[in-house]
Amino acid sequence: MIKIEVNMDACQHYGQCVFEAPNLFALNADDKLEYHAEADESERDNVESAVDVCPMQAIRIVE
C-alpha cells in the first residue's frame, strides 16, 4: 500500500495530478481536489508522476 498525503493549505486545485493518476485524484463539481489517501503499489508510478506535476508540490508519498 502507498499512503498519499496532500497539503490542502498549499493545494490550489489546479488538477494536474488528475491527468497522471485519474484513479486516485479528481476535481469535484466545485473545482476542489478530492483524493484517495491509500493506493495499491501498482499505482506507484502514477502517484510519483502526480507528485512531479503538482506546481504547488502539495502531494507527498508517506514512506
Partner 1 sequence: MSAGRPVLIVGGSMGGLRTAEALRRSGYTGPVTVIGAELHAPYNRPPLSKDVLSAGVTHEAVAFPARAATADVEWILGSQAVTADLDNRSVSTDDGREYPWSALVIATGLRARRLPFPPIAGRHTVRTLDDAMALRQELSPGTRVVVVGSGFIGCEVGATARKLGCEVTIVSPSAEPMVRPLGGMLAAELRRRHERHGVEFRLGRSVSELLGDSRFEGVLLDNGETVEGDVLVEAIGSECNTGWLADASLDLEDGVLADTALRAVPRNGTARDDVYVVGDIARFPNLMFDEVPRRVEHWNIPTDTGKRAGAVLGAWLANDGSFADIAAKEFAPMPAFWSNQFDVSLQAYGLPGLAGDEDIRILRGELCGDVAVGYYRERRLVGVVGLGFKTELLPFRQEIAG
Please give the residue ranges that form the binding site for partner 1 (CB under 8 A): 12-16, 27, 31, 45, 48, 51-53, 55-57, 60-61
Query: How far apart (Å, rounded) are the C-alpha atoms in residues 15 and 43?
Result: 18
53: Cβ–Cβ under 8 A, 6 or more apart, which residues?
A: 16, 17, 19, 20
Nearer to partner 1 among residue 15 and residue 36 (C-beta): 15
Cell digits of residue 47: 502517484
Nearer Cβ to partner 1, position 36 or 56?
Answer: 56
- Measured from the CB atom, the residue of 36 and 48 that comes closer to partner 1 is 48
